[in-house]
């Protein structure tokens, strides 16, 4: 196809998208469908969108090192430039404001603030986050700052093996306190860790994520122990979270009057059959997945299921640590995307591992029927009733805490063209169905106060690189121009203020 016809078709498609956007039916959903003050926003993370990975003083993180392995990321992609939000943040904030969004959940790169993890401050990095926060407020967007999204400073990994050492607890609390002191006059919503389960499990059980550690039987790792290290890393993540919360409450809460929580991923696990063993398997999966982190924070100990199965491999909290950990959240963020069927699987591997300890198997279908329509990612199916059950589970099992649905979304293939990418009707259907399920849970008493769509823009999707597009805004990776998709206009219509 020649250049001129392509440009014409692109222009027509873009105009058609805007025209259609004005007619998009949001159904019965609207801002008024949700409680007064309910917050709608979008989310991203530092390494996935910022770029400037080795510039303006930022130190490397474990992901900068991890992706150096040839073939570890699709097409050997990296986040060196990504979508360059470091320079284009105003454009992205303007898009959010135009879409009637209330808030932006971003993450702060620890190694952009402390290039070596501790010690010397990189003031250019501090200045960037000040610019971002100030412009968000100027445009009427509330900043929600997440302190850690997979990106431990590489210096700490080299100094003391990172999350496997208790030294990380103080270092993280010091970093968090610097952020509270520096940004807390404007940031009133803090999150310590995003998906610590993913950090511990994928980083130390199967080596799929940085730092890429596991037993040799479970992955292509050069070192690690899948039976012990995931539990040690998780234990130190929980203690780091609690130490940061303690610092905030003791030194900054009275003056800054903010709140602080943690973000936990939660796949809903449904029993494959009505049999007792499959029901037990699904419950084990829930305990090993979200219970691993929320149970200590609410009840001061790991789920009994984990204690019984993992035994001496599971670290124990001291009485002093229990006091610090228990109650260490003002809210919990739930990242919820999908659901799976689970069945009992009692094989005993020669080498123990976190995933093996579940004694449960995954199914994406039942009697030949998929659990829901599939997105681009192999793990992602559209199952809105899974969100409903997940929120109710948190409500009933953990005392109906304040919940923010902190991530929710679906992806298209990375090679979808600009005209095709704008016409994302499947994503609209996904959001509509999940928000409907969320509203049902709220109407039935769940204390959910906010919702963040993942993601604002197409970006670097970890091991998938740029072969996956989660954004409600299309990014043309050739020139990094932004194009709101139909789903973005769907949100704009749904969120319009009377």
Q: Residues 230-258, buried b or exposed e (16+ Cβ, 10 A)?
A: bbbbbbbbbbbbbbbbbbbeeebbeebeb
pLDDT in tens, the chain (498 residues): 443 333 334 444 444 454 444 455 666 799 999 999 999 999 999 999 999 999 999 999 999 999 999 999 999 999 999 999 999 999 999 999 999 999 999 999 999 999 999 999 999 999 999 999 999 999 999 999 999 999 999 999 999 999 999 999 999 999 999 999 999 999 999 999 999 999 999 999 999 999 999 999 888 899 999 999 999 999 999 999 999 999 999 999 999 999 999 999 999 999 999 999 999 999 999 999 999 999 999 999 999 999 999 999 999 999 999 999 999 999 999 999 999 999 999 888 888 999 999 999 999 999 999 999 999 999 999 999 999 999 999 999 999 999 999 999 999 999 999 999 999 999 999 999 999 999 999 999 999 999 999 999 999 999 999 999 999 999 999 999 999 999 999 999 999 987
Which helix H or strand E contains 9, and what residues bound it? helix 3-21
Residues 6+ apart with CB under 8 A from 325: 238, 239, 242, 296, 297, 300, 317
**Cα three-residue angle 427-192-457, rounded to 5 degrees:** 25
**Cα three-residue angle 151-285-359, rounded to 5 degrees:** 110
* pLDDT single digits (tens) 420-479: 999 999 999 999 999 999 999 999 999 999 999 999 999 999 999 999 999 999 999 999
Report CA 139 to chain centroid distance, whole Å.
Answer: 24
R_g of the chain, CA atoms, integer Å: 22
- Token pair, residue 289, equals 């997945």
Residues 6+ apart with CB under 8 A from 358: 281, 284, 285, 288
Using the Cα atoms of residue 84, residue 116, residue 43 and residue 143 in order, give the sign of their dihedral.
Answer: negative
Point out the residues that are catalytic. 195, 407
pTM, whole model, 2 decimals? Answer: 0.95
Q: Are strands 360-363 and 339-344 parallel, antiparallel or unpaired?
A: antiparallel
Q: Counting beta carbons within 10 angstroms of the beta carbon of residue 79, is it exposed (0 to 12), middle (13 to 18) or buried (19 or more)? A: buried
- Token pair, residue 36, equals 């007064």
User: How many residues comprise the chain?
Assistant: 498
């Amino acid at each position: 196809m020649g250049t001129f016809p392509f440009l014409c078709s692109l222009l027509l498609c873009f105009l058609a998208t805007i025209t259609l956007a004005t007619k998009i039916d949001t159904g019965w959903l609207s801002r008024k469908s949700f409680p007064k003050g309910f917050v709608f926003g979008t989310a991203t993370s530092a390494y996935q969108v910022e770029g400037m990975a080795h510039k303006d003083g930022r130190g490397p993180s474990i992901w900068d090192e991890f992706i150096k392995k040839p073939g570890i990321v699709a097409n050997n992609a990296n986040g060196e430039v990504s979508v360059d939000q470091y320079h284009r943040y105003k454009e992205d904030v303007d898009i959010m404001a135009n879409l009637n969004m209330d808030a932006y959940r971003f993450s702060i790169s620890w190694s952009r603030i402390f290039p070596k993890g501790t010690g010397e401050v990189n003031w250019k990095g501090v200045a960037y986050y000040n610019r971002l926060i100030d412009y968000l407020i100027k445009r009427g967007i509330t900043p929600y700052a997440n302190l850690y999204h997979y990106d431990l400073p590489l210096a700490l990994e080299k100094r003391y093996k990172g999350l496997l050492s208790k030294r990380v607890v103080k270092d993280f609390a010091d970093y968090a306190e610097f952020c509270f002191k520096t940004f807390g006059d404007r940031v009133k919503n803090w999150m310590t860790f995003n998906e610590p389960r993913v950090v511990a499990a994928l980083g130390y059980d199967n080596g799929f994520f940085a730092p890429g550690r596991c037993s040799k039987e479970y992955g292509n790792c050069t070192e690690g122990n899948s039976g012990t290290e995931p539990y040690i890393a998780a234990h130190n993540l929980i203690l780091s979270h609690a130490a940061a919360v303690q610092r905030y409450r003791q030194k900054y809460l009275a003056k800054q009057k903010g709140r602080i929580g943690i973000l936990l991923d939660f796949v809903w696990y449904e029993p494959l059959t009505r049999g007792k063993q499959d029901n037990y398997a699904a419950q084990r999966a829930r305990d090993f997945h979200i219970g691993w982190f929320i149970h200590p924070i609410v009840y001061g100990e790991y789920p009994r299921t984990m204690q019984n199965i993992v035994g001496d491999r599971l670290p124990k909290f001291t009485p002093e640590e229990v006091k610090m950990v228990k109650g260490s959240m003002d809210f919990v963020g739930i990242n919820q995307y999908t659901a799976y069927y689970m069945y009992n699987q009692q094989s005993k591997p020669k080498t123990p591992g976190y995933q093996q300890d579940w004694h449960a198997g995954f199914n994406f279908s039942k009697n030949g029927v998929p659990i829901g329509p599939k997105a681009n990612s192999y793990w992602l199916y559209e199952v809105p009733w899974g969100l409903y059950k997940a929120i109710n589970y948190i409500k009933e099992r953990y005392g109906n805490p304040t919940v923010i649905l902190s991530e929710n979304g679906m992806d298209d293939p990375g090679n979808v063209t600009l005209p095709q990418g704008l016409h994302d009707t499947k994503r609209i259907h996904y959001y509509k169905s999940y928000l409907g399920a969320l509203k049902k849970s709220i109407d039935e008493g769940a204390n959910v106060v906010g919702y963040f769509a993942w993601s604002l823009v197409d970006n670097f999707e970890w091991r998938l690189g740029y072969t996956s597009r989660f954004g409600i805004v299309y990014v043309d990776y050739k020139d990094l121009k932004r194009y709101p998709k139909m789903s973005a206009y769907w949100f704009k219509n749904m969120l319009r203020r009377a």
